[in-house]
Amino acid sequence: MGIYHLHLQNISRSSGRSATGAAAYRAGEKLRLVEKAAYRAGEELRDQDTQITHDYTKKSGVVHKEIILPEDAPPEFEDRETLWNFVDASEKRKDARLAKEINVALPTEFDLDEQIEVLHKYIKENFTDKGVIVDLNVHNTGNGNPHAHLMFPTRHVTPEGFGKKNTDLDSKVNLLIWRESWAKINNHKFEEKGLDERIDHRTLEAQGINREPTVHMGHKAWALEKKGVQTERGNINRDIKRRNDERAAKAEAECKDDPQDGNATSDNKPPALKKWGGSAERDALMSAKRNIREIETHLKAEKAEQIVEKLQEQREARRETEKIARHLNELKETDAELDKELHPLLRENETYKREIPQLDYLIEGMDEHIKNIEMLQDKVAQIQAEYQKLPFWEGKRKKELAKEIEKLEGNIRVARHNFKKKYGIDPEQAIIKIQRVREKIRERENAIERNNVQISKIRERQAAIRIEYQTQKLLNESRPDRQQIEQLLEKMNKPPESVRERLRQNELDRRLNTITKEDFQKIIEKLPQKQAEIIIKERQRAEMKKLQEQAQKEKTIIIERDR
């Protein structure tokens, strides 16, 4: 299963953030005037009131950016600077929510054009068709985690600008719709490309994954655990991991238990032979001439020999039947064991693929806050330099600059406070934190790479088992003991202990017994010509029978309808 990640957040003044810096960071451009739109676009933006410039033109990894407008939006809003300038002007409160942002992970199975295609479809169905402007930016730094930022204002758009707040954007129902829509659009694209990958917006429990989730550690607990100090949440997670390991070990042990064969028998001796002939025959022979006794003795011996030979042939045939059934059962059990080895690797990869975008998003968030604080500090330094250069008679101007410095220093304090509150560290510690998070990402990526090697080997073995199983099944179709083989194979099957186990067993059986055209061609190529011809004829006979049954069924339906 593919990676699913969709995160929604608010961009507000109360957190000390700048939407201008946010949009500029994401687009990698240089924008002016509008403070609240720049970070997401990787641009430089400058606040209209304070003249703060947000320059992120050195940011790498921005591979696509555009503003997508609904039909009624003013065309000048296609300019990022103009759009977010209007957003800032529309919000008066100091704690106003300026915009919302959705961060989504993009499937690595799609190239950039395909990623943009699914993003356009998603934005059209969920936002622009409903009158919402979206500032779209796609990031890909080559670390295997392409993702997109969808930043949109919180007010209704009109031909004149912005109107009232769009309360629908705060609806939890809408969030569920957005999450499900992203999964459906991507899965449709996977299907269109002929890929087996799928993503799922549901929780682990809703997906039927039998694994107890861990609790969120938090920055403080994580930092203490890193230093070797055990915390309450850390102990909870260790207990959860232990229970999950015990559950997995128990399931593996139950899988390895061999099924008991109630049909086996240790008595291979043939049953006692009945005496040849009945009483009438014996009377007839006894009344015959004496010389016929020699013929009688000979015939008895010959008949007994024939019976023994027949019993031996039956015994050999039964052994061959049991041997084929055991072979098929061993293939099924081996495939099931490989499947159990495969699932933990896939689940671990899914977990790591979910964690990597979150860790990348954490780095981006910290980077955004740090850049915002540094920008405010640079502005303070500029104003202080200007203040020092002014002569004493410029008292009025000095007061204005002092007031502006005081305002900016207040913004810096708010930004530092919110940074520490959100990340549990001072801004000066962010570089070390970011390095550790990047190391964690590399560990996850290395683990995924190692798992992929094992997954590839397991799937190759499963493919070989599937071909061998299907080859034997096709050969059995022309055998006279076909039904006996099926019966023995059914008896050898270990009954499932739960509904989940039964569903899993049914899925494995379906996979083994579904013979595609490609599989059939591989089987024909590996068999001797004589056996291949037998299989082809049997296959053609089965298809003809199926067509005849279908035709008869349709004929019956027509007759019933005409009545």
Do residues 12 and 96 make contact, with C-beta atoms less than 8 angstroms apart?
A: yes
Residue 520 pLDDT more than 90?
no
User: 10 Å Cβ neighbour count for 59?
Assistant: 21
3-state SS, residue 313: helix
The H or E element that residue 31 is part of is strand 30-31
More confident: 506 or 49:
506
Beta carbons of 256 and 248 less than 8 angstroms apart = no
Task: State mean pLDDT over 113-120.
Answer: 96
Tell me the CA distances in angstroms from 13 to 22, 38, 187, 551, one per residue in order: 12, 14, 37, 71
Burial of 145 (0-12, 13-18, 19+ CB in 10 A): buried
pLDDT band at 260 (very low <50, low <70, confident <90, very high): very low
User: pLDDT tens digit string along 125-141?
Assistant: 999 999 999 999 999 98
Pull the structure tokens for residue 453.
């090697």
Measure the CA–CA gap between 348 and 366, rounded to whole angstroms.
Answer: 27
Mean pLDDT of the chain: 81
* CA distance from start to end of the chain: 51
Any residues with CB less than 8 A from the CB of 118 and at least 6 apart, and which? 106, 110, 185, 186, 189
Q: How confident is the model at residue 429 (pLDDT cuts 50, 70, 90)?
A: very high
- Name 380's Cβ contacts closer than 8 Å, sequence gap at least 6: 405, 408, 409, 412
List, in sequence order, the alpha helices (H) in 390-514. 395-423, 430-476, 482-492, 499-513
Residues of 16-47 as b/e, b for ≥16 C-beta within 10 angstroms?
bbbbbbbbbbbbbbbbbbbbbbbbbbbbbbbb
**Which residue would you say has higher pLDDT here, 64 or 204?**
64
Q: How far is CA 437 from CA 5, 87, 212, 237, 246, in A?
A: 18, 34, 25, 20, 30
Position 278 pLDDT exceeds 80: no
CA dihedral 220, 226, 228, 231 (to 10 degrees): 30
pLDDT at 213 over 80: no
Question: pLDDT value at position 181?
Answer: 95
> CB count, 10 Å around CB of 254?
11
pLDDT, tens only, 399-408? 999 999 999 9
**What letter represents residue 493's amino acid?**
N
In three-state form (DSSP H/G/I as H, E/B as E, the rest C), the secondary structure along 139-206 is: ECCCCCCCEEEEEEECEEEECCEEEEECHHHHCHHHHHHHHHHHHHHHHHHHHHCCCCCCCCCCCHHH
User: Which segment, 31-40, 56-65, 100-109, 521-530, is predicted with the most confidence on average?
Assistant: 100-109
Q: How far apart are CA 288 and CA 257, in angstroms?
A: 65
The number of angstroms, rounded, from the C-alpha of 183 to the middle of its chain's C-alpha atoms is 10
**Cβ 116 vs Cβ 125: under 8 Å:** no
- Could you tell me if 244 and 211 are in contact, meaning their C-beta atoms sit under 8 angstroms apart? yes
Residue type, 267: D
pTM of the model: 0.55
| Whether pLDDT at 38 is above 70 | no
Across residues 67-83, what is the average pLDDT? 91
Both structure tokens of 231: 């915390």
Query: How does DSSP classify residue 228?
Result: T
Q: Do 513 and 519 form a contact (C-beta atoms < 8 A)?
A: no
- For position 209, what pLDDT does the model report? 62
Sign of the Cα pseudo-torsion (13, 15, 20, 26, in order): negative
d(C-alpha 502, C-alpha 497), whole Å: 7
The tens digit of pLDDT for each residue in 451-473 reads 999 999 999 999 999 999 988 88
